[in-house]
Amino acid sequence: MRILFISSTRIGDAVLSTGLLDHLIRTYPQAKLVVACGPVAEGVFARMPNRAWTIVLTKRRYRLHWLELWRAVAGQRWDILVDLRGSAFAWTVRARRRYVLRGGRQPGHRLAHLGALLRLDPPPLPVAWFNAADRARAATLLPGEGRWIALGPTANWDRKVWPAERFTALFRALTAPGAPLAGARAAILGGPGPQERAMAAPVLAALGDRAVDLVGSLSLPEVAAVLARCALFVGNDSGLMHLSAATGTPTLGLFGPSRVEEYAPAGRHVATAVAPDSPGLDSMPGLTLEAALVAAERLLSAQVPA
């Protein structure tokens, strides 16, 4: 059995789609899956079970990347084709069953849209795939499981970024004597490139030797393994936030201009702190330290067995 799964170009959307893939893997354990995605999201699927190969779609002029994909897959008949891009491409390839996500903005959470595509209610939660080598690397980087707070002070858009000094103050409040995570250290995460490095730099400088700098230095499976070792993740609306939620780590997403009803973290242990004027363009500074601290403490208290 062959399944073609056309996913997203962005990490966050790709992570949200992993619940559908996990459902397909469990339903058809003998199937071979081919995933098509953008280059940034490739690592989301690198450790996926039953993956035959990944087709990386690098955007080209005149939409020639779709022609390249067609050449790669049109020579065979697919048992199931899932297209999350909402394109006409799915109708140019031979397939027994097609599931094509409708394009355009829809009300409700993205995860619900994905679940409805396969008539799954409730929709399957995202998962994070990583292997023993990734776990070993994470254990070396973050010795002492559960004594770390992961911070994601970056995003793909600067208006989504909470002020660096508030990240620092929140970390100090959560790790002060008598606080829920007293004595914990910080793992600072972010993507590659100078923009993400600049966003993370003030937090790294302020926390000094209480923080480990992991910005742009790890593969996505290694990032997932690092997140799985942490007691808490706090970060802006980003792919990192969604990946953290997928690992099962308690995840607090910070929201300003993006729509929390559409992109809140999806997982077993998640919460959000939302700016009062969200989704206003310049709403992120309105999210106070006090509001984020209350949300973090509630999330952590929910993890304590009764």
Contacts 24+ apart (CB under 8 A), 82-90: 82/3, 82/4, 82/5, 82/6, 82/20, 82/24, 82/117, 82/118, 83/6, 84/5, 84/6, 84/7, 84/8, 84/13, 84/17, 84/114, 84/117, 85/6, 85/8, 87/6, 89/6, 90/6
Q: Are residues 281 and 136 in the same domain?
A: yes
Choose the final residue of a domain: 51, 83, 117.
117
Sheet with 32-37, edge to edge strand ranges: 51-56, 32-37, 2-6, 78-83, 95-100
Considering the domain boundaries, does residue 124 fall inside one?
A: no
If you search the block for the tokens 């399957």, which residue do you land on? Answer: 124
Choose the final residue of a domain: 76, 93, 117.
117
Tally of residues, the chain: 306
Return the CATH number at 215: 3.40.50.2000
Q: Are residues 155 and 265 in the same domain?
A: yes
Q: Which residues 6+ apart lie within 8 Å of 27 measured at CB?
A: none
Q: Are residues 270 and 138 in the same domain?
A: yes
Residue 148, domain extent:
132-301
Element (H, E) at 236: strand 232-236
Q: Are residues 87 and 204 in the same domain?
A: no
Q: Phi and psi dihedrals of 190, rounded to 5?
A: -175, 170
Q: How many domains are there within the chain? A: 2
Q: Are residues 100 and 32 in the same domain?
A: yes
Choose the final residue of a domain: 68, 93, 117.
117
The DSSP 8-state label assigned to residue 161 in this structure reads P
Element (H, E) at 65: helix 64-73
What amino acid is encoded at 63 in this protein? R
Would you give per-residue pLDDT tens digits along the chain (306 residues)?
999 999 989 999 999 999 999 999 999 999 999 999 999 999 999 999 999 999 999 888 867 888 999 999 999 999 999 999 988 899 999 999 999 998 777 889 999 999 999 999 999 999 999 999 999 999 999 998 779 999 999 999 999 999 999 999 999 999 999 999 999 999 999 999 999 999 999 999 999 999 999 999 999 999 999 999 999 999 999 999 999 999 999 999 999 999 999 999 999 999 999 999 999 999 999 999 999 999 999 999 997 553
